[in-house]
């Protein structure tokens, strides 16, 4: 605990000191919006492309003075104008790309600004983080443009300064575009930060990371996280835990029982018993990192992590309103507004609002009502310092859906509308997340980031709930009233620096993260009530009054976590990259069972430490092709108890993968093919001598192949598709009957495809069509492999039209109205049917 308090104090003190430094260094940059006129000659920027041969010079070149720099916002990017003292068109010597930064080198030029030695500008346009023009050597200039989330579109031009004097017989030369960096297709996202903690091009990352961008979410009209993640290989929904959270498995690991794959927010791990049900309206994109990733994210399942990247305040005004309507009374208005609050752009804001109403497709009495409020405020303290404050509040009232039940060796032969618990069962959840993200850039190469997050999550059940038992045609159920609370406080600090040792370039990341979480669950149980599957009478035994029931269980879990990590991205050569890192974790958990009429008071506490490494190697024989391999470990403490009352040893995971990534169709499309092999040890298994307790002897293994493709094949024709083969089995357990059995809920084969085409010219320009499918093979319903749920294939389609600042769309999901099972929980209940035919129409307007 002392280590935890000391590290917290150090992190906060560092942040305060850097804020003060940033304020004292603050300088205001003024942006001229005067447009430039002239000829534009474009050239697509390629990584490391040399352009020295553009002009063959036979005489010594004149040295041109750049006396001014102007930056203008353009559609989708920016225009940089270099004002010169001579009637000479500047030419680039080289252009290159580093992560999300476009770099151009200009020869035979010197910077001669009247009031400074370099030009710097922060957030000059939507999607642009910074622009710098500096003297990089004798008679050489370097231009750097960094995008906020992706590689930017940049046009650089030279123009005679208005104050320059020409000879009487001379005419001013027309300005010319000297280089253009084009932003890739929006289905193909070039950079992702989840894999390394730095915004690195995916082709330069020796790990498997996939992205669902905002354009895919819009084209599919995805309104739930499970809908969006069908686009990613190896990811499966494992249910909603009765409406309390969205749970997922990655590469076979993660479920409602053992906790799902962690869902991060903006690259930071958030702890608690439940992860809530995220809202997509406030997301810029979704990133999925495959494999053990404890080095950056602490205690996790070894399959991987899901990172939700939030929308950020923009420097240019942007306003969008959308209205969605659908069958089952779907009503979903949404508002997204952003821009500057001050004339100098020091304060930026963003506000996302959403309300959703929808009837369930199953025979519940309760409709879904969902509210999102998500404001954010960015304060640009100076050229190198900024801080963003954010808040997200989500309230949802919905049916408490525990799915269908098992019957024999399959699913009960009832309609998907059948309710196995009670039609008026409901759950109310309140989710609040607030905090800040602080960043100070000491230079172009070194920066420090500090973030804080407070999470509050509450839910209330009033249900006929688990555990279900199926006896003949009857289900035996139990009334349950349950209150749950989660409180989590997290502090993250890291330093990222770029430097060289000789010819070897490095990107070093060092960080510390701390967390304190406090969770409590209070449960009231009533007597068991039977329900006939084929002739249900829900009022045979009325629900009891909670006030008449004594608490059955009252459990509280607190945890203190400290993680310290170091990672180096080493560019041994321009095309040979080594990533190596190490993390130390210490976790202290305390579980308290508060005395009730049915249980005695008890308490257990355990501290676990772990050292987890990660190493990856990447080789690019040609710029469009990457070969990679990696090895990593994971660590996750357990809460299960042994017969002696102690907590089980932590689960440990290790895995390796090898793969290939390639860019096709002029860098517009990215494909990743991967083989993976992951083992999880110390899995809790039933103690054969004390069946109510556990021992850590289990082992599980998952291996397979994944393929992901995303991007633009031809202008207007976009695609995102995936396939996964997963062979996941139990390799060790005290119950020998489950050894070699397959994981429950994990399909061996899973494939998805979504493609759109938009007409690019003519009277029908802006009209587009979309189509796709999702296929999932058979899955076992429990670890004993005693029953199966069937495979399914569903088709989806869309038609849309966009013109100027508005867009119409109609999407149809599950065109054939296929009856299928979406997820299972490993027991006789919680078998969740998928949605029937769904139609959603939308109209959006940017104003």
Q: Which two tokens stand for residue 799?
A: 């038609």
Residue-level pLDDT at 282:
95
Q: Is residue 147 domain-resident?
A: yes
The answer as to whether 7 is a domain residue is: no
Residues 605, 754: one domain? yes
Looking up tokens 């990660």 gives: 614
- pLDDT tens-digit map of 30-55: 333 333 333 233 333 343 333 334 33
Residue 238 has pLDDT above 60, yes or no: yes
Residue 647 or 78, more confident: 78
CA dist 764 and 754 (Å) reads: 22
842 phi/psi in degrees, rounded to 5: -145, 155
CB 145 within 8 A of CB 101: yes
CA-based nearest residue to 304, from 706, 797, 668, 599: 706
**Residue matched to tokens 């599950």:** 814
Check if the beta carbon of residue 444 is closer than 8 Å to that of residue 144: yes
Evaluate whether residue 121 is within a structural domain.
yes
Residue 259 phi/psi, 5-degree rounding, is: 85, 140
Parent domain of 90: 31-165+173-181
Q: Answer whether residue 143 is part of any domain.
A: yes
Residues 177 and 316 in one domain: no
Looking at the structure, do residues 177 and 315 belong to the same domain, yes or no?
no
339: confidence class by pLDDT, cuts 50, 70, 90: very high
CA atoms of 5 and 298, how far apart (whole Å)? 19
Closest CA to 755 of 777, 738, 773, 782: 773
**Residue bearing the bigger pLDDT, 307 or 695:** 307
pLDDT of residue 173: 43
Q: Do residue 601 and residue 462 come from a single domain? A: yes
| Residue 44: predicted pLDDT | 35
State whether 767 and 630 are in the same domain: yes
pLDDT for res 839? 98
Specify the pLDDT at position 308.
94
Give the end of a domain, one of 147, 181, 215. 181
Which of 151, 181, 211 corresponds to the end of one domain? 181
* 655 located within any domain: yes
Identify the residue whose tokens are 């297709």: 185
Whether residue 597 is predicted with pLDDT greater than 80 in this model: the reply is no
**Residue indicated by tokens 């999901």:** 813
Mean pLDDT of the chain: 85
Beta bridge partners of residue 82, listed in sequence order: 69, 158
Q: What percent of the chain has pLDDT over 70?
A: 87
Give the CATH number, domain containing residue 696: 2.40.170.20
- Tens-place pLDDT, residues 81-135: 898 888 787 877 777 777 678 888 888 888 888 777 788 888 788 778 889 998 8
Whether 449 is covered by a domain: the verdict is: yes
* Pairwise CA distance, residues 621 & 575, whole Å: 7
Long-range (24+ apart) CB contacts under 8 A made by 774-779 are 774/230, 775/749, 775/750, 775/751, 776/236, 776/747, 776/749, 776/750, 776/820, 777/747, 777/748, 777/749, 777/750, 778/747, 778/748, 779/744, 779/745, 779/746, 779/747, 779/821, 779/824
Closest to 823 measured CA to CA, from 112, 437, 246 = 246
Residue 792 has pLDDT above 50, yes or no: yes
What's the CATH code of the domain at 49?
Answer: 2.60.40
On whether both 528 and 383 belong to a single domain, the answer is yes
Asked if residue 320 and residue 177 are part of one domain, the reply reads no
Average pLDDT over residues 799-817: 96
Q: State mean pLDDT over 559-563.
A: 95
- At which of 181, 213, 243 does a domain end? 181
Based on the fold, state whether residues 177 and 311 are members of the same structural domain. Answer: no
Span 700-724, mean pLDDT? 96
- Report the pLDDT averaged over residues 622-627: 94
Alpha carbons 425 and 231: distance in angstroms, whole number: 32
The domain total for the chain is 2
- Domain for residue 784, yes or no? yes
Can you tell me the mean pLDDT for 493-501? 95
Lowest mean pLDDT among 42-56, 234-248, 346-360, 736-750: 42-56
Residue 797 contacts residue 771 (beta carbons within 8 Å): yes
More confident of the two residues 792 and 122: 792
177 lies in the same domain as 319: no
pLDDT bin (cut points 50, 70, 90) of residue 331 is very high
Strand ranges (DSSP E) for 344-384? 347-358, 368-382
Structural domain includes residue 284: no
**Strand extents, DSSP E, 533-575:** 553-573
Q: Can you tell me the distance from the alpha carbon of 804 to that of 846, in angstroms, rounded to the nearest whole number? A: 9
**Structure token pair of residue 9:** 């104090």
36/450 Cα distance (integer angstroms)? 40
- Confidence bin at 165 (pLDDT 50/70/90): low
> Does the pLDDT value for residue 684 go beyond 50?
yes
């Amino acid at each position: 605990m002392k280590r935890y308090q000391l590290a917290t104090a150090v992190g906060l003190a560092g942040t305060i000191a850097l804020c003060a430094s940033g304020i004292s260094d603050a300088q205001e940059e003024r942006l001229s919006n005067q447009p430039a006129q002239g000829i534009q000659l474009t050239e697509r920027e390629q990584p490391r492309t040399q352009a020295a041969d553009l002009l063959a010079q036979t005489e010594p070149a004149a040295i041109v003075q750049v006396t001014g720099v102007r930056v203008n916002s353009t559609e989708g990017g920016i225009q940089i104008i270099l004002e010169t003292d001579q009637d000479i068109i500047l030419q680039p010597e080289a252009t290159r790309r580093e992560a999300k930064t476009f770099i151009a080198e200009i020869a035979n030029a010197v910077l001669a600004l009247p009031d400074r030695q370099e030009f710097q500008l922060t957030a000059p346009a939507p999607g642009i983080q910074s622009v710098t023009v500096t003297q990089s050597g004798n008679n050489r200039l370097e231009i750097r443009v960094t995008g906020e989330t992706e590689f930017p579109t940049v046009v650089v031009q030279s123009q005679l300064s208005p104050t320059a004097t020409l000879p009487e017989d001379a005419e001013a030369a027309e300005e010319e575009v000297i280089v253009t960096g084009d932003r890739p297709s929006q289905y193909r996202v070039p950079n992702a930060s989840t894999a390394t903690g730095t915004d690195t091009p995916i082709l330069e990352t020796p790990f498997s990371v996939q992205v669902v961008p905002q354009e895919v979410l819009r084209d599919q009209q995805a309104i739930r996280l499970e809908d969006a993640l069908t686009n990613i290989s190896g990811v499966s929904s494992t249910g909603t835990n009765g409406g309390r959270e969205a749970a997922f498995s990655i590469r076979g690991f993660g479920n409602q029982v053992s906790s799902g794959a962690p869902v991060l927010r903006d690259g930071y791990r958030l702890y608690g018993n439940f992860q809530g049900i995220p809202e997509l309206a406030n997301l810029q994109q979704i990133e999925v990192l495959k494999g053990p990733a404890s080095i950056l994210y602490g205690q996790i399942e070894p399959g991987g992590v899901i990172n939700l990247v939030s929308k950020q305040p923009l420097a240019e005004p942007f306003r969008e309103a959308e209205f969605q309507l659908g069958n089952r009374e779907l009503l979903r208005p949404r508002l997204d507004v952003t821009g500057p609050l001050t004339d100098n752009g020091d304060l930026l804001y963003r506000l996302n609002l959403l309300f959703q109403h929808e009837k369930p497709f199953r025979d519940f009495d309760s409709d879904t009502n969902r509210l999102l409020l998500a404001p954010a405020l960015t304060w640009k303290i100076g050229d190198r310092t900024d801080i963003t404050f954010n808040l997200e509040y989500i309230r949802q009232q919905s049916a408490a859906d525990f799915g269908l039940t098992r019957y024999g060796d399959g699913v009960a032969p009832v309609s998907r509308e059948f309710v196995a618990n009670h039609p008026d069962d409901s759950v109310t959840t309140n989710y609040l997340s607030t905090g800040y993200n602080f960043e100070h850039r000491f230079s172009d190469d070194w920066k420090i980031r500090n973030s804080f997050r407070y999470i509050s999550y509450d839910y209330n059940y009033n249900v006929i709930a688990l555990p279900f038992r199926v006896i003949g045609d009857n289900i035996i159920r139990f009334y349950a009233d349950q209150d749950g609370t989660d409180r989590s406080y997290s502090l993250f600090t890291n330093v990222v620096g770029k430097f060289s040792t000789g010819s070897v370039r490095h990107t070093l990341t060092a960080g510390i993260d701390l967390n304190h979480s406090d969770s409590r669950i209070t449960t009231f149980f009533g007597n068991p009530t039977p329900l006939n599957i084929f002739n249900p009478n829900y009022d045979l035994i009325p629900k009891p009054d909670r006030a008449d029931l004594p608490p059955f269980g009252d459990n509280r879990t607190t945890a203190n976590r400290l993680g310290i990590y170091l990672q180096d991205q080493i560019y041994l050569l321009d095309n040979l990259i080594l990533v190596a890192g190490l993390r130390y974790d210490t976790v202290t958990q305390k579980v308290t069972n508060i005395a009730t009429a049915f249980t005695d008071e008890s308490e257990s506490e355990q501290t676990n430490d772990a050292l987890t490494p990660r190493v990856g190697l990447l080789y690019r024989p040609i710029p469009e092709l990457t070969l990679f391999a990696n090895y990593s470990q994971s660590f996750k403490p357990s809460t299960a108890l042994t017969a002696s009352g102690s907590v089980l040893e932590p689960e440990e995971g290790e895995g390796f993968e090898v793969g290939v990534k390639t860019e096709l169709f002029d860098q517009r499309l990215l494909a990743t093919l991967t083989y993976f092999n992951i083992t999880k040890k110390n899995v809790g298994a039933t103690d054969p001598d004390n069946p109510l307790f556990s021992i850590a002897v289990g082992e599980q293994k998952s291996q397979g192949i994944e393929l992901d493709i995303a991007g633009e094949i031809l202008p207007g024709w976009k695609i995102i598709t995936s396939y996964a083969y997963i062979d996941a089995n139990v390799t060790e357990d005290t119950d020998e009957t489950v050894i070699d059995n397959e994981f429950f809920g994990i399909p061996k084969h899973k494939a998805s495809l979504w493609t759109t085409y938009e007409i690019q010219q003519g009277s029908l320009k802006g009209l587009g069509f979309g189509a796709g499918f999702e296929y999932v093979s058979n899955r076992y319903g429990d670890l004993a492999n005693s029953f199966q749920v069937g495979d399914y294939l569903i088709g989806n389609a869309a038609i849309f039209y966009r013109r100027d600042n508005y867009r119409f769309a109609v999407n149809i999901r599950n065109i054939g109205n296929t009856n299928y099972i979406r997820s299972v929980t490993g027991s006789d209940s919680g078998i969740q049917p998928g949605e029937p035919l769904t139609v959603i129409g939308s109209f959006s307007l940017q104003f």
